[in-house]
Amino acid sequence: MPTPRITNWSDASARPKQTYRRRERTKKRPWTRVVGVMAGAATLAATLGTGIGPGSVEPASAQQPTPLSGVTVSNVSHSIHADRLIDGVLGTTNAVSWENTNPWASTSYPMTAVFDLGASYDLDSLEYFVGNLTIGRERIVFEGSTEVSGNAFTPLVEVSSGHQWNQWHDVSATATSIRRVRVSFSDRYDRFNVSEVHFFGELSDDGTGGGGGTTSGDMPQPAPPGPGIVRSTGFGNFPRAHLTSSCVELHNRYWVQGPGAGINPNPSASENKAYHTWHPAITAHPDTHESCDFGHEHGTNPQHAPSEVFELSGGWPAFGYAADVANGHRHEDHVGHKVSVAHFRASIGNAAGPLDGADPGPIDGALYDAGFECDWLSKIHQGSYSLDAFANHLHEYFLTLRCLDGLNSQGMMDGQTVGTELSVKVMYTYGRPNEFNEMNCSGGATFPTSVLTGPEGQSVMQAHQLLPLGNNTPNNREFVCSNGVEWQTVEQVSQVDLWTQLIKINRPDGHSAVMLQPYYIVKNPARIIEGFDASTGPNQVIRTIDICYGQDGSSLDRPFCEGSPETKPGWKSSDSPFNGTFRAINFKSAPVTNAGGPARFCTTAFGFSASSGGNQAGDTCGPGQILQTVTPFDNNWNNSQYSYGGHGGNVQGSIWAKAPNGDYFASPLLPAAIQPAGGGAYDPSGLGFEFIVDNRWPDDDLDGVPDGAHIRGEN
């Protein structure tokens, strides 16, 4: 029996490694003649993928080599449902077909789609499986391109006769450094149905092999961005003085292109540029085998999220993509991009007090079970070592959220049906530019950035951009003075840096589609405010490690300094416990009001209604716009109509949450019926329930053993 092929990488962790070299066949595949031919169909079925669906016909040869994986496909002309070209399902019906918009009209040709191989390959052949055909008139054309975008294609192979229905066919297609392949039918007569296409070849060794930027494939890429890829602003700029050149090169192999890469022929379009993405804090170089300890971390590996959430998000996050789309002067450093993955059970209410486990009746500050659970994947730029956040109010934010709060066929919420489902990307406003809130020295007053002096005596630079102010200002960037935390442990403090937001995403008709309200907290930043003058406010930013030592360098016995060495380290040293690695999230609310609206639509980079350009159905977006996904649904989280278990109110947070490593955070009074199995108890103070993101000792592979990374203060 032939070896089965996997049809769908639904579990991201189960994806095989890329096979770059095709094995030589040991025998020719038999070509079995089929007596009789099915009549030509009205649709053109063509499927590209790495596998075959259940009940389909397997290639005859057991020696079939592994085709290239990581291939994507897009509609180009007179083409719909190009996404079906990667589902791995054979067949000729409309349900599985790549289709022409009007297959019988002569004006609906040429019909084309473009495959992106994910990197540059030296091809030696391709194979395809034929469905229906018309004898004597069939013709299919494949063309190749060495570029990641544009229309510069050259002939690869044209096949015009000899097809047989329900059979695989091999074609020699030798070409070097091919990145994309265009397939086309020239007119309505020269067409037939193809239900699978595979490419075979070897990764090019010309330095462009990494020119793919796939969003959901394996990392790292085979190479940094090739010469045909425009690098985004700041690409390659990160703390690197402690790294070897090969480790710097490896760091730059963790990259992607923006969402929708290749659709716009302009190589300088935001979607075509190369962006850094998540990488482990420490890893072995795949070629030199040296240990590359990058000295910074980006939170949780996004592939630890459920596969459907990871794919909904667009795959590996493109750090800085929204900032590039915004086309302004706002650029954020690489190390501040932090990813969080969580699974939580939602709550009615969001009080700082304990859950009302006994449930004697309505109590001020009580939390109640909302009856459903959610998966959360976010990326925020939250720099906590520089002076940037004191002045700049624009920060990049991505969120993908999927909740089981939908209604089943009986119109009931059963906690099993998906309702809320969204994935948004924005540059958004946290407060106003060139001012900040201070939380304890002055009782929460707002001050201009000009009152601050940096740790080395420098002034705080003014904001990169002053506009927009946002559609929900003022939001807050709040900072604590050192005397407000030094007598608590890091685990006890509510926050040192607090980033609150009310992000509103509008669909094209101006109607609000979703509002997001999470709090993000940093508990151990590398810098903190010290000093206070009643007339000017807090006036000095110091390195947090400084509060742990006296003038003579002796260690001070302060709870907040727990973990500091006896001898004072430099603030950049990995021996300092203050490096922004201990963070928290309060999920808050995400009211969706998109019933009757589009599931995919374009907005400006700031989440406002898109004004012009692009396809408002959501297939593509114009310059300065970002594709957003919000389920056409009203979840009633914040209109006082939500009720569950006899309690009503707004859905405003969570009663327990689980991290990918298995850590639970929950109230100790949680009723047994909804207590997570094996869950620990954590009852945070301050702003209500907090989900803890503890990356002080990164364990990126989740094996329970710290990976040994040395995170520096410039994290």
Q: Is the pLDDT of residue 667 over 80?
A: no
Q: Which two tokens stand for residue 160?
A: 């015009």
Q: Which two tokens stand for residue 267?
A: 């190589």
Residue 513 phi/psi, 5-degree rounding, is -95, -40
Q: Is the pLDDT of residue 539 over 50?
A: yes
- Tell me the pLDDT tens digit for each residue of 449-459: 988 999 999 99
Query: Which residue in 496, 467, 494 sits closest to 479, CA to CA?
Result: 496
- Bridge-partner residues for 328, per DSSP? none
Which string of b and e fits 460-483 if b means at least 16 CB within 10 Å?
beebbbeebebbeebbbbbbbbbe
Integer angstrom CA distances of residue 297 from 57, 336, 427, 707: 46, 9, 21, 12
The CA distance from 429 to 436, in Å, is 12
Residue 293 CA, chain-centre distance (Å), reads 23
- pLDDT of amino acid 168: 79
Give the single-character DSSP code of 544: G
Which string of b and e fits 5-24 if b means at least 16 CB within 10 Å?
bebebeebeebeebbbebee
More confident residue, 431 or 384: 384
- pLDDT band of residue 381 (cuts 50, 70, 90) is very high
Which residue, chain included where needed, has tokens 């095709």? Answer: 22
Least confidently predicted of 24-28, 287-291, 430-434, 477-481: 24-28
Helices then strands, counting H and E runs in the chain, come out as 4, 31
More confident residue, 209 or 312: 312
Q: Is the pLDDT of residue 362 over 50?
A: no
| Amino acid, single-letter form, for residue 653 | G
Q: Which two tokens stand for residue 394?
A: 């624009």
Q: Is the pLDDT of residue 629 over 90?
A: yes
SS3 167: strand
Query: Which residue in 133, 127, 176, 126 sits closest to 154, CA to CA?
Result: 176
Q: Is the pLDDT of residue 12 over 60?
A: no
| Amino acid, single-letter form, for residue 606 | F
Query: Which residue in 142, 286, 226, 278 sits closest to 695, CA to CA?
Result: 278
Q: Which two tokens stand for residue 58?
A: 């397997």
Can you tell me the mean pLDDT for 330-355?
A: 84
The CA distance from 649 to 644, in Å, is 9
More confident residue, 22 or 391: 391
The CA distance from 574 to 576, in Å, is 5
- Tell me the pLDDT tens digit for each residue of 120-158: 888 989 888 776 655 456 788 999 988 766 677 889 988
- pLDDT band of residue 677 (cuts 50, 70, 90) is low
CB-based contacts of 37, cutoff 8 Å, min separation 6: 133, 135, 165
Q: Is the pLDDT of residue 2 over 90?
A: no
503-506 and 477-479 beta bridge pairing: unpaired
Q: Is the pLDDT of residue 32 over 70?
A: no
Q: Is the pLDDT of residue 685 over 70?
A: no
SS3 293: strand
Q: Are 219 and 232 in contact (CB under 8 A)?
A: no
In order of their start, the domains of the chain are 12-27+35-203 (2.60.120.260), 332-694 (no CATH)
435-438 and 477-479 beta bridge pairing: parallel
The CA distance from 164 to 147, in Å, is 33
- pLDDT of amino acid 263: 78
Q: What is the share, in percent, of the chain residues with pLDDT greater than 90?
A: 41
Q: Which two tokens stand for residue 362?
A: 């309505």
- pLDDT of amino acid 191: 76
Least confidently predicted of 7-16, 141-150, 442-451, 571-580: 7-16
The percent helix, strand, coil of the chain (3-state, each to 5) is: 10, 30, 60
Least confidently predicted of 362-376, 459-473, 608-622, 672-686: 672-686
- Bridge-partner residues for 627, per DSSP? 602
Q: Which two tokens stand for residue 88?
A: 């791995």
- pLDDT of amino acid 137: 66
- pLDDT of amino acid 129: 77
CB burial class (10 A; 0-12, 13-18, 19+) of residue 95?
exposed
Q: Are 119 and 211 in contact (CB under 8 A)?
A: yes
| Amino acid, single-letter form, for residue 143 | E
Can you tell me the mean pLDDT for 584-613?
A: 88
More confident residue, 584 or 9: 584
Q: Is the pLDDT of residue 489 over 60?
A: yes
- Tell me the pLDDT tens digit for each residue of 219-271: 999 899 988 899 999 999 999 999 999 999 999 999 999 988 877 888 999 99
Q: Are 648 and 348 in contact (CB under 8 A)?
A: yes
SS3 133: coil
